[in-house]
Structure 1
Amino acid sequence: MTDSANQKVLIITYYWPPSAGGGVQRWLKFSKYLPEYGWEPVIFTPENPDFDLKDDSLVKDVSPQTEVLKFPIWEPYSIFKKLSGRKELKQGQVLEGGKKSLLSKLAIWLRGNVFIPDPKVFWAKPSADYIATILESNNIKTIVTTGPPHSMHLIGLKLKMKNPAITWVADFRDPWSKWDILNKFNMTALVWQKQRNLEQQVIRAADCVLTVSESWKSDFEKLGARRVKAITNGFDEEDFNTSISAPHPNKFRISHVGMLNVFRNPEWFWKLLNEMVASDEFGDDLEIEFVGILSDDVFTTFESHAHLMPLIRKHNYLPHSEVLEKYQQSSVLLLLQNNSENAKGHLPGKLFEYLGASRRILCVGNKESDLAEILNKTKSGSVFEQTDEDLLKSFLREAYQGWKGENSSSNAQGISRFGRKRLTKELSELLNSFGTR
């Protein structure tokens, strides 16, 4: 129940239920628990967003007392669809597809060099103009913008320039100029500089830059942000609290949840797994499950692994309520990190849900990353690089024996600090520190 004495905070986000995927979870869960700490969230989001996936099960986390303001948006995705020849463009798909036609190349070039910082940029000015008219009448003194898309931060910048007295927190779920995906858009040097200039304006004008990992916090400090705070993503204890104990998985199931594209596709890992299957290390017990968008380019790589291919199961998308069940039906939860400069600080939202699911976590990635540090401290899993093939085989054999002994639990320690409610308390303390109450 919202307390009428609570201080209001306007949260400007492109992703909001029924939008699905990782981008919606962070501020959906913050908004769920903020009223318990003296803050009343007001959501500002597009009326007609062009997102790929919907999940009506997420609506249950939106309190009836939460005010949601919706404002029309125009997006140029019809242009990308015509140029690429596709009726639908799933997340990241515009960058994939092997050899590209001239029209597809043009679509990528337009995305990188015309729509700056991203295709939502046309929403920034009309949204800022509209919000400016309602801040005072609604007694809103604090705003949060969350990106990507980083055009959301341009709304915050415009509002801050109009009214310097407001408190503005710019939340970065991914970096801006250091975001590895930008390298794929063939941007000119002039456009790169414009991206950096916009980033500088945002991080220097915001009262606080909020991000999801200590490494990215350090990166923003080096870029010149005035104040930076790291609050990770997390898991909602309510999602995992059940009086019914989950049955033991009926297969030795290795599951990957979330989008998997060519930018984090460890072909050496699939080769190793294929060899283990060929050596009959798992009998008829192994199953490889993908829940979420699995790119065609990644799926094609499995064609060269004849022993692995028959064991693969795909679910293009499942509601979050069903994803929670998939966690419990798994023996090992798979995390795959990008092989890129900013991967060190990348903490995907599914990491924390994996923790909440209490299943062994196998990460193929960087052993010096923030993610590896969390897995080591919580004793919830291990990170492997390509030089660790023997260690990885031992991990899989041990997990398999654990499954045969009807024990697929990770026995993780100290994961309560990643609970959404506790993280929201940390956010409320940050908001309180600005003295706007």
Structure 2
Amino acid sequence: MSTPRRVLMVAYHFPPLQGGSGVLRTLGFARYLPEEGWEPLVLSASARAYAQTAGSAQLDGQLTVRRSMALDAARHLSLRGRYPGCLALPDRWSSWWLSAVPAGLAMIRRYRPDAIWSTYPIATAHLIGLSLHKLSGLPWIADQRDPMLDDSDPQAPYPPNPRVHRLHRWIEQRIAAKSAAIVCTTPGALAAHRRRLAQVEAGRFHLIENGYDEAGFDRANCAPAGHRSRFLLLHSGVIYPSERDPQALFEALGRLRRDGVLAAHNFQLLLRATGHDAWLATLLARYGITELVTLAPLLPHQEALREMQSADGLLLLQAANCNGQIPAKLYEYLRCRRPVLALTDLAGDSAAKLRLCGIDTIGQLASCSDCARALLRFLELARQGRAPLASPSSIALQSRQARSHALAAVLDQLTYRSPT
């Protein structure tokens, strides 16, 4: 019997960590890569590193997972809320490197993987992947997802901390020099990497988007809601103050309420697990829309999927400063086959993805008047059952299973090239 092909996956975001698209990305690859002839070996952080945890029932009992010690500098190493900045380079979980490299080497000796894969945005994961690559000689895939650096606005570089910025730049250059492949999740992120890393040959860049997991929807198994007098529009997930600033929408809701178009008896906007409830509550009071908008706490993922499938409409927010990003939630929205209202920038990747899937209920997030226009058109179409939905064939292309097929193709390509 031939030895199965294996990939060592270095990922901070992994169950039992609760929330975040990174958890679902790695979990999806781990679930579906075996169907493509690849056995995943997951190297992750100890559960102590996570501020919020949930049950790990989603994990396959056959999956090999090794956890190594990791401390959060802000939670475990601070004194009166302060900690030395050197303990948070390149991120607050830098201590993970000390335990993960020996643990990864032990896994390499025992399981003999054919490749290493590490995933950002926890930059320490890439340092671990780089170290294991240098010590083992195995080909290394850097799953960048989004760019580590953004210097497009000299007045507001990312990351803003100069020391973190310099270290991220060094890691990015190590990725350019040492990785066998660089994976991005959106066309915009891919283009940004190609501009920044012009020395890297085009064939080393790969686009593997986020997606939805069909297994999650099988467990959620919820029929869409029937007719209700009050239209329920749901935003599920974090609302960042800059990247998803809803103030133009709130201003539009305030005007529509004063004009008598929207009221508590015919419309509700439910903001689920925003991560910034206190800030949003202040805005709701400022714009006089507390009766129209409800702030709700985080739900377990399966319950969140059920809620999305039962809503009358789903709201997507994405500002123009994130035109090169697509919220992972968008793919789950598509799979829910509920009407989607996207308030974003028409030139961004999110709008392009929705148009590609046949959805044109899109408005400009930065414009109060366009938010109002897009919302009224959306409500009219949704109430009449005429809001556009993605086709089953276009939805299938967005699945985690399809993304795992793409990753397996990259792994096949690299391991066929590497020495035996």
Q: Same fold (TM over 0.5)?
A: yes
What pairs up with 1:187-266 in 2 under 5 angstroms?
187-188=161-162, 191-224=164-197, 225-226=200-201, 227-241=204-218, 245-248=223-226, 250=228, 251-263=230-242, 264-266=244-246
The secondary structure found in structure 1 opposite 2:88 is coil
Separation of aligned partners in 1, 2:109 and 2:168: 31
Match 1:285 to one of 229, 242, 266: 266
Is 1:317 the counterpart of 2:298 in the alignment?
yes
Q: Which runs of 5+ in 2 are unaligned?
A: none
Contact 1:359-1:380 at 8 Å conserved across structures: no
Task: Give the drift of 1:313.
Answer: 1.9
- The answer for the alignment partner of 1:28 in structure 2 is 27
Contact 1:236-1:420 at 8 Å conserved across structures: yes
- The answer for the alignment partner of 1:15 in structure 2 is 13
Separation of aligned partners in 2, 1:232 and 1:429: 14
Separation of aligned partners in 1, 2:330 and 2:151: 19
Q: Which runs of 5+ in 1 are unaligned?
A: 85-105
What pairs up with 1:33-432 in 2 under 5 angstroms?
33-56=32-55, 59-78=56-75, 83-84=80-81, 115-164=88-137, 166-178=138-150, 183=157, 186-188=160-162, 191-224=164-197, 225-226=200-201, 227-241=204-218, 245-248=223-226, 250=228, 251-263=230-242, 264-283=244-263, 284-295=265-276, 296-306=278-288, 308-340=289-321, 343-385=322-364, 389-405=368-384, 407=385, 410-413=388-391, 414-432=394-412
Separation of aligned partners in 1, 2:397 and 2:306: 23
Pair 1:5–1:381, CA change in 2 (3 A):
farther
Query: 1:352-406: CA deviations, max 9, x gaps?
Result: 001111122222222111111111111234432257555543432233234444x
The secondary structure found in structure 2 opposite 1:23 is helix
Aligned residue type for 1:299: A
Query: 1:314-362: CA deviations, max 9, x gaps?
Result: 222101111111112222212222452xx12111110100111112222
Separation of aligned partners in 2, 1:339 and 1:314: 24
Query: 1:198-235: CA deviations, max 9, x gaps?
Result: 22112321111111011111211222245111110011
TM-score (norm 2): 0.87
Task: Give the drift of 1:247.
Answer: 2.5
Contact 1:253-1:329 at 8 Å conserved across structures: no
Contact 1:7-1:38 at 8 Å conserved across structures: yes
Task: Give the drift of 1:77.
Answer: 1.9
Aligned residue type for 1:314: L
Task: Give the drift of 1:249.
Answer: 5.6
Identical counterparts, % of pairs: 22
Pair 1:316–1:50, CA change in 2 (3 A):
farther
- Which aligned segments of 4 or more residues in structure 1 are displaced greater than 4 angstroms? 79-84, 179-186, 241-244, 386-391
- Supply the RMSD in Å over aligned alpha carbons: 2.7
Separation of aligned partners in 2, 1:249 and 1:54: 36
Task: Give the drift of 1:49.
Answer: 3.7
| Count of aligned pairs | 403
Task: Give the drift of 1:81.
Answer: 6.8
